[in-house]
Amino acid sequence: MNHTDKEIRQYFKNIFGFKPRHLDPYKIALIHRSVSDNDATFGKINNERLEYLGDAILGSVVADFLYHKYPLEAEGVLTRMRSKLVNRARLNTLAKKLGLDDMVRMDGHITQGCANGNAFEAVVGAIYLDQGYQKTYKIIIHNIFLTHLDMQTVYEEDNDFKSRILIWAQKNKRKVTFAHESVTNGKEHLYKSIVSIDNETVSDGLGFSVKKAEQAAAEKALAMIETPQE
């Protein structure tokens, strides 16, 4: 489907919240390789180069955002959150939500799926070329991610250590169990959770509830599992 310049400008104003200065990068960002335009000088024109650029810019913008939003989190947590925010499945879903599937020109026989996520990255590349890094940051984080994604849910998913270690156990065919007991620390009543892997105790954690004790113990166990052995 070919869209007029007016339609493309209106799309970015309505969905991304800004007016493009130069339209050419956005036109290219909306061309899938299956319908590449031919140019006498540059050959086939499609959004693959912009996708390459946008992938790098998107990773940088998200890393920048997470670094400042979560100043106390370790590198591993930030890395996992960034991966969750920019993975292919999430970008595909986000692109569809933004209506990119209706804007991208592609062969009708191509399954859109990943093409939508690729187009989103290409659009990010186009925005960067047209608007610069600071404006791109604002558009992607404030107009897109914080508007269409629940960042707190992503954060909580990443910090659900019990679920993560159970998923690890399932993938690696290991047996993980949690045992609990009540303990007293001075005048405070606490719960102690003990994590065992294949019936061998590997960590424990304290908390004011069983759930918090489990999370503390699971976090320690994960740190041991994920630390490379020398």
Nearest-CA neighbor of 103 among 197, 31, 54, 169? Answer: 31
- pLDDT score, position 70: 92
pLDDT score of 41: 47
Start-end of H helices in 30-160: 48-69, 75-86, 88-97, 113-131, 133-138, 146-148, 151-158
> Would you write out the chain's pLDDT as a tens digit for each of its 230 residues?
578 999 999 999 999 999 999 999 999 999 887 777 665 445 578 899 999 999 999 999 999 999 999 998 888 788 888 988 998 888 988 999 999 988 988 765 555 555 688 899 999 999 999 999 999 999 999 999 999 988 888 777 667 888 889 888 998 999 999 999 998 877 678 899 999 999 999 999 998 889 889 988 998 998 888 765 54
Q: Would you state the pLDDT for residue 72?
A: 87
Structure tokens at 151: 């960042």
Residue (of 104, 96, 107, 95) closest to 3 by Cα position: 104
pLDDT at 1: 56
Catalytic residues: 55, 121
Structure tokens at 185: 């620390």
CB 51 within 8 A of CB 118: yes
What does the alpha-carbon distance between residue 34 and residue 31 come to, in Å, rounded to a whole number? 8
**pLDDT (0 to 100) of residue 195:** 96
Q: The whole model's pTM is what?
A: 0.69
pLDDT of residue 12: 96
Beta-bridged to residue 105, according to DSSP, are 31
Q: Quote the pLDDT of residue 17.
A: 94
| Three-state secondary structure of 2-15 | CCCHHHHHHHHHHH
pLDDT at 38: 63
Beta carbons within 10 angstroms of residue 224's beta carbon: 12
51 close to 123: Cβ distance less than 8 angstroms = no
